[in-house]
Each structure stands twice: as C-alpha cells, then as structure tokens.
Amino acid sequence: MQYCELHEMHNCADCAPRRPPGGAPADTGEWHEWPTAAIIIHASGFAHLPGCGHLTPADIRPPRYGWVLTPSSGAWRRLAPTYPLRATHGNTEREAVSRCSTCDRTQ
C-alpha cells in the first residue's frame, strides 16, 4: 500500500497511478485487475473503491454497475448529490452521489 505525501494517507484514490481507459477489468474476478484509483458505481448511487468488502469483482458488470477507471483528481472527495460522478464504463447512466462509508474510512 503506497503512502500519498500530498494527502497524507495510504492508498489514496485521488493520486494512484492511472491506467488508460478500457473495458471492465472484472472478468478475472480479482481486485488486482482494477486500477487503484477506479471508482465503482452501484445502481443505488453509492460509490465504492476496488477491494470493497461489499462487492465481488466478478459481479461488477452492467447494467447494475458503472465505473470510472481514471477519475479526475479529487473526484472521490467531491462526491455529493450536488456533484455527482457519472460512470464512463459499464452502465454509463449510473451516477454516484455518495461514498461507501467502509471505502471512505480507507481514505
């Protein structure tokens, strides 16, 4: 787990190395296939980070989920009903309006 000097935390979703956009990395059912900075959006509007105990990687696929593989810096912290994050992959109609509290504790 890398330490982010800028935000003074481990596993910073805002500063993790970015991978180029592509399809769902969930085909293998392993979290290591997902970029650390990815944000996964559930149909409920909750955003999750890769490794969340509420999710199984193999289950993350449209239409129930959408995701953003390379979110802009600060996207995780800005999530709110007034600043939703729209999925760029999977079900691109999904919008996150709140953060999973379990994932948020890791930040």
Q: Using the structure block, give the residue that is written with the tokens 């239409």.
A: 63
Per-residue pLDDT of 28-62, as tens digits, reads: 567 888 888 999 999 999 999 999 988 888 888 88
Residues 80-91: pLDDT tens digits? 999 999 999 999
pTM of the model: 0.74
Q: Work out the average pLDDT over 72-81.
A: 94
Angstrom distance (rounded) from CA 7 to CA 53: 24
* Angle of CA points 94, 59, 11, to nearest 5°: 75
What long-range pairs does 43-46 form, CB within 8 A, spacing at least 24?
43/91, 43/94, 45/84, 45/94, 45/95, 45/96, 45/97, 45/98, 46/96, 46/98, 46/99, 46/100
